[in-house]
Structure 1
Amino acid sequence: MLRLSHIALFFAVSAVNAHAQDITYPVVDTMQDKCFDLLGDEVACPAKGDDLFGQDAQYSRVEASYTAQGDGTVLDNNTGLVWEKTPQDDRLQYSEALSYCSALELGGRDNWRVPSIKELYSLADNRGELLKPEQGEPTPYIDTEYFDFSYPKGHMAFAGQYWSSTLYVKGPVQNGRNQAAFGFNFADGHIKAYGTGLDFYTGAAATGGLTGEDGKAPGNYVRCVSGQEDVYGMNAFSDNGDGTVSDRATGLMWQKADDGTRREWKEALAYCEALDLGGYDDWRLPTSKALQSIVDYKRTSFPAIDTSVFTITEDNETLDFWTSTTFGDWKNYANVIAFGKALSKAGDQTEYSDWHGAGAQRSSIKTIVGQETTEDTTCSVNACDYNRSDNLVRCVR
């Protein structure tokens, strides 16, 4: 499979307001390098024009590239960000994570911080898979040639969640009052919002719900980052007036409005491959990282996208959009990005609630044809995700 060699990140930053900066950066590849059918079996990548063409592995993008600097840090050659190579082996409360990174001195740097969710997700390596012990050794969703990662001791193997600094601002999650911050799970390949231990409405310590007997939330791990803040992950959208939107920051062009049709994964791939819009016919279904790049995490209302330039045609609380990226753990599923509520339920709940937060990356079954689709197919010991096989589509080029 052909992939682009890595490119250096170019920052052209003016002295004006951050939102007016002329910033460019690449969306780093997911590194998924295999193709899969609807039932999750690995297959030879389809030819153009055949069913299931357009999967993540079939398009060349900016290949991940890192340099181990020999001082406990790793340079991302694409983004220019410098990362902590070996994270702390302890779960931290959100406030503790912020304090830990701000106090860190490593590699001659003292400007460490908790990364934003877009920065953190840039490290995701979608060749990962969390296998059951009888199936073999799991592979983390991070490049362990450069980054140290350990599956948690004393916890379930999938509990590899890492904090970001991105708070969920649209409302409380999980128990109805929890303030949350997004994180990425390098054990199981998901983005979700995790309770910070504070009450969303009052800012006081949360009680009940997901807090333990000590009154604390479970906490997450943290991998600190050093680099200019509010650069990677910014957007510079322009409406081209022809049904397309360009993001000058990433160099990607997007379909302005979805067509309002929900499709299974095969049809989603085919729809983008056949799209002729704005004088272009080289559209494709976006990868997980590409689609996550246009999430508006600062928007306080739904949907989680800049509605001054984009249109979501459905007025619905479940606004999951397909990506071309197969989910590593269950390969009959593909990743989706939630632009509406990311629904789940747990315990004695009878109704789904916004458990993971708009802007989460979850997964949906590719098709309901020929396989069991009971509700427990997307359940963990903590919660059961809402799952449907037909999702919305926004194409990219």
Structure 2
Amino acid sequence: MLNKISLGGLILTLFIISSPAFAKDQTFTIVDTDQKACFDNTNLMDCPDSGQSFFGQDGQYKGNQPAYRDNGDGTITDLITGLMWVKARGSKVTWNSALAGAKDCNIGEYSDWRTPTIKELYSLIDFNGWLFDAKGAKPFINTKFFDFKYGNTNAGERDIDCQDWSSTKYVSKTMNSDPTVFGVNFADGRIKGYAIIKPRNRQKNKLYIRYVRGNTKYGQNKFVENINNKDKTVTDQATTLIWQKDDSGKTLNWEESLSYCEDLTFAGRSNWRLPNAKELQSIVDYSRSPATTSSAAINPIFNVTDKESYYWTSTTHLDGPCPKNAVYITFGRAKGYMKSPHSGQGKWLDVHGAGAQRSDPKSGDPSKFPNGHGPQGDDIRIYNYVRCVSGGKAIPDSPPTPTDFKASKSKRPSNVMQRQGGMNEKGNGQMQGQRQGQGQGGGMRQGPPAEALNACTGKSQGDNCSFTTPRGTMNGNCLQVGQDNQMACVPEGHGRRQ
């Protein structure tokens, strides 16, 4: 295969392989999130100095920078992880077809392709992405190297209906006992569990697949408890990251979480930081869950205050792209408040699986979200646990404030509604018909029609509703939408789910 690699590419490859990131024992090199800006609770900001509010966020630490090589044969090599990927987007397939199809893949004349694990797949995520509709969005993957396309709205899909399968099956089940597989949505920057069989029509769910080869040890942790001085830290020799064995013991909002780690002097170290999204996801143990092992989804070498806990990361999640949310990892069940369309009774369910990656408002009052948020009723906690990290490749950085960053509230289009994770709409989901990978595309006009508003007069959030249109009767749920959080009847299938 050397004849396929240019001299420059070969030199770059040799340079990276000889770098500390490719150390012999470091089989699980974490690629930086590539977030190069700083944010407060709601806006873009100049990166703060040590001791100031919001210091220590993702953009202020520079890790292993993403580096790819297009091999010119339909494959892309990740020069940091050592993984090789299929460049093309391909077509949507069932999960079983995704698994079986790897052996028939011969792209680049290789015969050892496999379906990626969730940790392998997540290595590709790039948190410079943001979500509008497809015309105003930026994918959470480097499209200079990887082919990508949003959902086909002309075929009734939503922009975000473009998730990728992994090979990682959830050890428990989601929703109403649905067998579930983890996947990454590179349109909105999330990990969620997706049902193998669509609950509404019992048809096999179809997502995209991108095969991988090389570095079969990627994603496998090698934890060693540092007991010589009983400092209660754990080193992952696969990543070279050093972790607190114990978590914060209490929940904090995002700003408090940044300060907690930056101010921490512990085990002879003062260089603790709040982990970024990829660092924290690296220690998820997808063989564990509260339902199957009576534990959080983490190696038992770590202590956990609450097995149903969510943990903050330092990474801002650009949903809109107003930077009101930050990424968290669910080490407990990723809960959502779901209402039955028949009885109207709601209950909390595991909607996305332990090990999902979602996002929370950075600040606010969680009591304002008694039924969660969005069509799947995502559990809004705002106050989450913290586990600080040290070591690895991350070095302090002070990136300049970008001048072309689209973070103005006024640039958020009003026709993109019910996107989980944002603050503009609150609501809850339904157990049937409001599930992963389902629903219709299209948006909404510059505000709900009067009929939709009137249909929810005197009703509560999540109640069933209906109103008459020229096309017939529309059934849905009462949800708060728009900048003014007006209560309106949102038709079934128009919720923006990930």
What's the TM-score, normalizing by structure 2? 0.69
Aligned-partner Cα distance in 2 for 1:145–1:360: 27
Residue aligned with 1:101, SS:
helix
Aligned ranges 1:5-44 → 2 under 5 Å: 7-8=16-17, 10=22, 12=24, 24-39=27-42, 41-44=43-46
Query: For residues 378 and 76 of structure 1, what CA distance do their matches in structure 2 show?
Result: 36
Measured in 2, the distance between the counterparts of 1:390 and 1:359 equals 18
1:236 maps to which residue?
222
Question: Equivalent of 2:203, from 216, 222, 227?
Answer: 216
Post-superposition CA distance 1:167-221 (Å, at most 9, x none): 111x21122x211111000011110111123xxxxxxxxxxxx3343x3233211
Distance 2:318 2:65 in 1: 19
1:374 shift after superposition = 4.5
- One-letter identity of the residue aligned with 1:66: Y
Question: Do 1:11 and 1:25's aligned partners in 2 also have CA atoms closer than 8 Å?
Answer: no
Structure 1 residues 360, 83: closer, same or farther in 2, change over 3 A? same
CA distance in 1, matches of 2:186, 2:101: 20
The residue aligned with 2:374 is: 379
Match of 2:439 in 1: none
Deviation of 1:34 after TM superposition, in Å, equals 1.0
For residue 316 of structure 2, what is the aligned residue in structure 1? 326
Partners of 2:276 and 2:225 in 1: CA distance:
22
Task: Indicate the residue corresponding to 2:337 in structure 1.
Answer: 345
* Structure 2 Cα separation of the partners of residues 298 and 376 of structure 1: 29
Counterpart of 1:361, as a letter, is Q
Q: Within 2, Cα distance between the matches of 1:378 and 1:33?
A: 29
- Paired with 1:160 and 1:372, the residues of 2 have a C-alpha distance of 33
1:100 deviates by 1.9
What is the rounded CA distance, in whole Å, between the counterparts of 2:168 and 2:23 in structure 1? Answer: 22
> Residues 1-33 of structure 1, C-alpha deviation per residue, up to 9 Å, x if partnerless?
xxxx99436475xxxxxxxxx553311000111
Q: How does 1:103-182 map to 2 (within 5 A)?
A: 103-132=104-133, 137-153=136-152, 154=155, 155-169=157-171, 171-175=172-176, 177-182=177-182
Give me the CA root mean square deviation.
Answer: 2.1
- Say which SS state the counterpart of residue 181 (structure 2) adopts: strand
Q: Greater CA deviation, 348-357 or 78-87?
A: 348-357
1:357 paired residue number: 353
Q: How does 1:248-327 map to 2 (within 5 A)?
A: 248-299=237-288, 300-301=292-293, 302-307=295-300, 309-314=301-306, 316-317=307-308, 319-327=309-317
Aligned-partner Cα distance in 1 for 2:78–2:173 = 34
Any idea what SS the aligned residue of 1:385 has? coil
Matched residues in 2 for 1:7 and 1:293: separation? 21
Residue of structure 2 equivalent to 1:391: 384
Relative distance call for 1:42 and 1:311 in structure 2 (3 A) is same
Report deviation, 1:102: 2.2
State the identity %.
42
Q: 1:55 aligns with which of 38, 53, 57?
A: 57
Tell me the TM-score normalized by structure 1.
Answer: 0.86
Structure 1 residues 235 and 321: alpha-carbon distance in aligned structure 2, compared to 1, 3 A threshold: same
Q: Which residue of 1 aligns with 2:214?
A: 227
Distance 2:357 2:350 in 1: 13
Of 363, 377, 400 in structure 2, the residue corresponding to residue 367 of structure 1 is 363
Amino acid across the alignment from 1:173: T
Query: In structure 2, what is the equivalent of residue 102 of structure 1?
Result: 103
Q: Is the 8 A contact 2:312 2:328 kept in 1?
A: yes
Larger radius of gyration: 2
In structure 1, the partner of 2:183 is: 183
Quick one: which amino acid aligns to residue 121 of structure 1? Y
Deviation at 1:152, TM superposition (A): 1.4
| Mapped pair 1:64 → 2:66 | yes
Q: Structure 1: which 5+ residue stretches go unaligned? A: 13-21, 198-209
Matches of 1:158 and 1:180 in 2, distance apart?
19
